[in-house]
């Protein structure tokens, strides 16, 4: 028996010494009793010094507690493990290593110890770090571009809407068409900026799922309502059939779910000229399925495998049939993955397509009570106070002020946060529209200063922002605003925000 054990040990060492990776072994007590030549060459000191628990001295001090905790946890459970940490090399440099170990046993099943290998992965870790930094830089760049572009485009968008409201429909049809083209083109640019920003945020891990509890049917109805007017104009039948998901509630990210479905519905509308668009729900034992079905052009089998790629050029030239950024389905797929789901596709050319969002059954929860209808917009009457517009971009501020006056509000203007505070001190205010990024004092600081005074704690403040990143939204929320208006601000958004206040009077000085 001793001879067989000695032969087995000699064979093991003969193999281990020739391997190009670092090899180690422990005894039944978890103490290192062998390291190979590759380990010795890497460490640059006698093998005996790394036996027992001597190897721990080479682990970077910052990594040592987690490394030992992982090793001891695996050892107690007799289970395989893997970990990365920095190990001191013979030249004095700490190198990232990938350490993998597994327990081994004798023929009778008795535990003998652990066998493991280490590989230098410093180059991979450096590449990973550089890629993460590049991704974060891209996100910051796209975010800055989005914000800087949205501010002047906001003025163009609102100015076009304002001009349309002054025109006579019969006499100025051509001018109205030009203004609609301007607004449509601005919206396309903003959609592209938004899609690029969303992709970069997802890549950088800056768009986590924010789980809330909500009723599903109203959410689906809102999505369908976004395309219903255009669908009716095309003579399409639009249907909402919740099916198995009727009167259910979900616990997931409502905003991301709506973004996915809105994009799928928009595509269905774009590529369907006759027939119907249907959104319906199904439930299985382990998943729920929310599907968008159309009777449009369909997608060829060759294109179906690439349709979720960014800027994919398809054989049937779907993008040539209508406008789009070429990023929508790529974003849908990424967002679905964030929700722990997936997007499936079934399509027959010339017959139609069905895109479905499939989510785990765990998102279903007890139903919520039906909310009461939103209060209708009330046009201001009397003098319940002015609306203060704080915005440093002159054209955007002036155009926004004109729109508000057209809606019947008295308007005050400020081009920085400090001037906004001064006006708030001496005027009676109904609400404040506060740009986030302003000179002298930004909108966050101005809002905090207002909220610090008891008389302004219930003053409605809406943030104006072109930066729609999650971090910026959190900053806005923490400042104590009542909501935010994403640039370009539309008449409908203003009506919804200010109309919810009714004719309540507000107090300033």
Provide the pLDDT confidence category of residue 384 given band limits of 50, 70 and 90. Answer: low
Mean pLDDT calculated for residue range 184-202: 73
pLDDT tens-place string over residues 320-330: 434 555 677 88
Class of domain 131-203: mainly alpha
Q: Which parts of 204-276 fold into alpha helices (H)?
A: 216-225, 228-233, 254-270
* Higher per-residue pLDDT: 367 or 178: 178
In DSSP notation, 106-145 reads -TT--EEEEEEEEEE-HHHHHHHHHHHHHHHHHHHHHHHH
Distance of alpha carbon 272 from alpha carbon 353, whole angstroms? 10
Short-list 90, 60, 85, 50, CA closest to 71: 85
Distance of alpha carbon 85 from alpha carbon 99, whole angstroms? 8
Distance of alpha carbon 90 from alpha carbon 87, whole angstroms? 10
Short-list 265, 359, 343, CA closest to 308: 343
Mean pLDDT calculated for residue range 337-362: 94
Q: Give 59's DSSP letter.
A: B
Is the pLDDT reported for residue 109 higher than 50? yes
The DSSP H or E segment spanning 445 is helix 443-451
pLDDT tens-place string over residues 35-91: 999 999 999 988 899 999 999 999 999 999 999 999 999 999 999 999 999 999 999
Q: Residue 105 has which token pair? A: 């046993």
Cis? peptide before 488, omega within 30° of 0: yes
Provide the pLDDT confidence category of residue 206 given band limits of 50, 70 and 90. Answer: low
Distance of alpha carbon 296 from alpha carbon 347, whole angstroms? 10
Distance of alpha carbon 297 from alpha carbon 320, whole angstroms? 12
* Higher per-residue pLDDT: 470 or 166: 166
332 contacts: CB under 8 Å, gap ≥ 6 = 259, 260, 263, 264, 308, 343, 355, 357
The lowest-confidence range among 117-131, 148-162, 387-401 is 148-162
Can you name the CATH fold of 2-120?
Answer: Beta-Lactamase (3.30.450)
pLDDT tens-place string over residues 261-312: 988 998 999 899 999 999 999 999 899 999 999 999 999 998 888 888 876 6
* Higher per-residue pLDDT: 467 or 97: 97
Strands 94-105, 111-120: pairing is antiparallel
Short-list 375, 359, 353, 343, CA closest to 216: 359
Radius of gyration of the chain measured on its C-alpha atoms: 31
Distance of alpha carbon 279 from alpha carbon 242, whole angstroms? 8
Tell me, what's the pLDDT at 25?
A: 95
Strands 352-360, 237-241: pairing is unpaired
Q: φ, ψ for residue 187 (rounded to 5)?
A: -60, -40
**Is 241 strand, coil or helix?**
strand
* Higher per-residue pLDDT: 43 or 8: 43
* Higher per-residue pLDDT: 94 or 495: 94
Q: What are the strands, taking DSSP E only, across 269-414?
A: 276-283, 287-294, 342-348, 352-360, 364-365, 386-390, 411-414
Provide the pLDDT confidence category of residue 482 given band limits of 50, 70 and 90. Answer: confident
Short-list 349, 313, 342, 308, CA closest to 327: 308
Class of domain 386-499: alpha beta
Is the pLDDT reported for residue 484 higher than 90? no
Tell me, what's the pLDDT at 308?
A: 86
Short-list 207, 206, 452, 197, CA closest to 327: 197
Q: Give 284's DSSP letter.
A: -
Distance of alpha carbon 464 from alpha carbon 389, whole angstroms? 9
Best-predicted range by mean pLDDT among 106-115, 376-385, 479-488? 106-115
Tell me, what's the pLDDT at 318?
A: 46
Residue identified by tokens 């809407």 is 161
Please give the share of the chain, as a percent, with pLDDT higher than 70: 87
Residue identified by tokens 């170990």 is 101
**Is 273 strand, coil or helix?**
coil
Cβ 415 vs Cβ 392: under 8 Å: yes
Q: How far is CA 218 from the centre of its chain?
A: 22
429 contacts: CB under 8 Å, gap ≥ 6 = 385, 386, 387, 388, 412, 459, 506, 508
Mean of per-residue pLDDT scores for the chain: 84
Distance of alpha carbon 102 from alpha carbon 113, whole angstroms? 9
All structural domains of the chain with their residue ranges = 2-120, 131-203, 212-365, 386-499
The HSE-up count of residue 228 (CA atoms within 13 Å, CB side) is 11
Distance of alpha carbon 95 from alpha carbon 87, whole angstroms? 5
Tell me, what's the pLDDT at 447?
A: 95
Residue identified by tokens 């997931």 is 252
Domain over 212-365 is classified CATH 3.30.565.10 = yes
Q: How far is CA 16 from the centre of its chain?
A: 47
């Amino acid at each position: 028996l001793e001879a067989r054990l000695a032969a087995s040990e000699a064979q093991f060492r003969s193999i281990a010494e020739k391997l190009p990776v670092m090899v180690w072994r422990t005894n039944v007590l978890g103490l290192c009793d062998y390291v190979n030549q590759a380990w010795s060459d890497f460490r640059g000191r006698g093998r005996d010094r790394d036996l027992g628990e001597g190897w721990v001295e080479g682990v970077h001090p910052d990594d040592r507690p987690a490394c030992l905790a992982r090793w001891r946890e695996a050892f107690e459970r007799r289970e395989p493990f893997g970990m990365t940490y920095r190990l001191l090399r013979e030249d004095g440099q700490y190198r990232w290593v990938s350490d993998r170990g597994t327990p081994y046993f004798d023929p009778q099943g008795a535990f003998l110890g652990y066998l493991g290998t280490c590989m230098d992965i410093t180059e991979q870790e450096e590449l990973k770090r550089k890629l993460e930094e590049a991704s974060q830089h891209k996100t910051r760049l796209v975010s800055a571009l989005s914000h800087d572009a949205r501010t002047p485009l906001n003025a163009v968008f609102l100015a076009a809407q304002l001009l349309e409201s002054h025109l006579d429909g019969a006499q100025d049809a051509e001018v109205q068409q030009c203004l609609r083209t301007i607004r449509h083109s601005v919206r396309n640019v903003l959609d592209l900026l938004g899609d690029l920003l969303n992709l970069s945020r997802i890549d950088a891990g800056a768009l986590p799922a924010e789980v809330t509890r909500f009723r599903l049917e109203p959410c689906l109805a809102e999505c369908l309502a976004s395309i219903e007017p255009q669908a009716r104009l095309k003579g399409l039948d639009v249907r909402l059939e919740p099916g198995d998901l009727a009167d259910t509630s979900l616990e997931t990210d409502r905003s991301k779910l709506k973004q996915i479905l809105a994009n799928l519905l928009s595509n269905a509308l774009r590529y369907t000229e006759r027939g119907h668009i249907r959104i319906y729900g199904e439930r299985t034992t382990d998943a729920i399925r929310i599907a968008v079905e159309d009777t449009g052009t369909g997608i060829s089998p060759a294109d179906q495998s690439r349709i979720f790629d960014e800027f994919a050029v398809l054989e049937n030239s779907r993008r040539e049939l209508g406008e789009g950024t070429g990023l929508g389905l790529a974003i849908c797929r990424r967002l679905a993955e964030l929700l722990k789901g997936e997007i499936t596709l079934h399509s027959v050319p010339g017959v139609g397509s069905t895109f479905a969002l499939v989510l785990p059954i765990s998102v279903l929860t007890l139903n919520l009570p039906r909310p009461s209808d939103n209060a209708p917009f009330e046009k201001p009457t009397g003098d319940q106070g002015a609306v203060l517009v704080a915005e440093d971009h002159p054209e955007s501020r002036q155009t926004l002020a004109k729109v508000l006056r057209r809606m019947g509000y008295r308007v005050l203007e400020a081009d920085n946060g400090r001037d906004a505070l001064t006006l708030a001190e001496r005027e009676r205010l109904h609400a404040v529209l506060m740009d986030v990024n302003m000179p002298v004092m930004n909108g966050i600081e101005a809002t905090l200063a207002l909220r610090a005074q008891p008389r302004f704690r219930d003053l409605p403040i809406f943030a104006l922002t072109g930066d729609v990143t999650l971090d910026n939204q959190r900053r806005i929320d923490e400042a104590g605003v009542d909501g935010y208006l994403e640039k370009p601000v539309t008449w409908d958004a203003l009506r919804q925000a200010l109309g919810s206040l009714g004719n309540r009077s507000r107090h300033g000085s």
